[in-house]
Amino acid sequence: MSTTTDRPLRVALIGTGFMGRMHAHAWRTAHRFFDLPARPELTLLVGRDPERTAAAADTFGFAESAGDWRQAIERADIDVVDICTPGDTHAEIALAALAAGKHVLCEKPLANDVAEADLMVAAAERAGAEGVVSMCGFSYRRTPALALARRLVEDGRIGQVRHVRAQYLHAGSGTLGDIGAHSIDTAQWLTGDAIAGVSAIMRTFVPTRPVLDEQVGLGGRAHADAPRQTVTVDDAAAFTARFAGGAMGVFEATRLATGHRNSNRIEINGDRGSVAFDFRAMNELEFYDASDPAGEQGFRRIQANEPEHPYADAWWPAGHGLGYEHLFTHQIVDLVRAIAGGTPVSPSFADAARVQRVLAAVERSAAQDSLYVTVEGENP
């Protein structure tokens, strides 16, 4: 049971869509299950449509609402700005919030390009010198089974990493920067190694799509007679990668994998063993130990919901699984503890910027017919 202190941490959440709803749930929940050094208070919800935002604030549990994100920056009673807006707005909001001394949680991808990401990293470093914390929201890091995988890799249980295989198969529109970014971050985080170069291909299979009516609610809906607009995002991306430490990787991200829904899988092979994770079985980790006797070798399944597994001891009795929403609660837990100075922030804006550099390299390679491209700032 939580023993959260009464010291408030006043939150302004910017964005009322799917991700805003998820973050709001996490802010409401974190202190009810985890011991936190401060109690989050849902102070202000910001959205573009004042009427809809006011209704959402009531639903999400926020005390007030506003129609302009600048109001969150200007208010002295806001401690944290949580950015759940489209990627092309992240930099402007985050830069203003950091300059005002607000702690920042920014959804991924960090920015629209490397130049914006670099500005955000520099601002985060300046603010960090004054005790201001900034974090990027790569929520899959908070999956107990994946956090266990990282622990096993760090402890040397799979030895020297040789191969990384990552797939993110889904349906919709916009692949590389949205779902592909998760695979890149997860791979670099699990291995503790940076992607140094890539050779990529990207495709947009459906060149135009109908304009959505956003007034119908979450996600919008296309009317039969709606005008069509040119698609400027990719439907699929695939690339091979060279890691700085010598490992090789194969990555695939697509929104046109018929029959798949949020199929996020990663496997890491070392010279002493392997770990494999599939989000469709998010409470499980597959682990292979090459030191087992030959007659007993093979992947074993670990149910990552015992008290000794990351995050699991705050929730249900052993054997009771967690869901997607719990990852965001764990994210808030880690952020609040980092703000209090108890733990280092992760992923930092600098971590997220490294993902941004890989995304940029993939785009450059694809534009040059899969030419091998070195990731900016990394040794080939």
Shared domain check, 337 and 266 = yes
Report the C-alpha gap between 240 and 371 in whole angstroms: 11
Q: pTM here?
A: 0.92
Residue 380 lies in a domain: no
Shared domain check, 235 and 289 = yes
Shared domain check, 182 and 159 = yes
Shared domain check, 31 and 12 = yes
Residue 36 lies in a domain: yes
Shared domain check, 178 and 295 = yes
Tokens of 244: 């700085």
* 11 neighbors 82 (Cβ within 8 angstroms): yes
Q: Residue 205: which CATH number?
A: 3.30.360.10
Of 92, 107, 139, which residue sits at a domain end? 139
Helix or strand run (H / E) with residue 246? none
Shared domain check, 18 and 96 = yes
pLDDT in tens, the chain (380 residues): 455 677 899 999 999 999 999 999 999 999 999 999 999 999 999 999 999 999 999 999 999 999 999 999 999 999 999 999 999 999 999 999 999 999 999 999 999 999 999 999 999 999 999 999 999 999 999 999 999 999 999 999 999 999 999 999 986 546 788 889 999 999 999 999 999 999 999 999 888 888 766 544 444 555 667 788 888 788 899 999 999 999 999 999 998 898 998 999 999 999 999 999 999 999 999 999 999 999 999 999 999 999 999 999 999 999 999 999 999 999 999 999 999 987 889 999 999 999 999 999 999 999 999 999 999 887 65
Shared domain check, 221 and 122 = no
Residue 52 lies in a domain: yes
Shared domain check, 322 and 232 = yes
Cβ count near 73 (within 10 Å): 21
**3-state secondary structure (DSSP) of residue 167:** strand
Of 106, 139, 172, which residue sits at a domain end? 139
For residue 202, list its beta bridge partners.
Answer: 237
Shared domain check, 300 and 233 = yes
Shared domain check, 177 and 104 = no
Residue 217 lies in a domain: yes
Domain limits for position 99: 8-139
Residue 112 lies in a domain: yes
Distance of CA 360 to the CA centre of its chain: 17
Q: Residue 122: which CATH number?
A: 3.40.50.720
Cβ count near 161 (within 10 Å): 23
Residue 277 lies in a domain: yes
Residue 2 lies in a domain: no
Shared domain check, 59 and 201 = no
Tokens of 330: 């764990």
For residue 354, list its beta bridge partners.
Answer: none
Shared domain check, 159 and 124 = no
Number of domains forming the structure of the chain: 2
Residue 1 lies in a domain: no
Of 139, 160, 195, which residue sits at a domain end? 139
